[in-house]
Amino acid sequence: MYFYINDSAEFAKRTETKLVEERVFFTDARKMLKKKLGFYTRIAMKIVDDKKRAILLHLRIK
């Protein structure tokens, strides 16, 4: 399944939910696995986070 959201706030509004939190996907994983990840993997994860290519949305049903 492929999909994307350009604007988290607009998505929450259209789905009649409340946007509680938006955060990038790999930040915590990079901190926990720092020494276990390869150099290129760390770079790829950082780029994905910096460009917000993978995010987690926490939505609440109104």
Chain segment 35-53, per-residue pLDDT in tens: 899 999 999 999 999 999 9
The three-state secondary structure class of 24 is strand
pTM of the model: 0.74
Exposed / middle / buried, residue 60 (Cβ in 10 Å: 0-12, 13-18, 19+): exposed
What would the pLDDT profile of 9-18 be if each residue is shown by its tens digit?
999 999 999 9
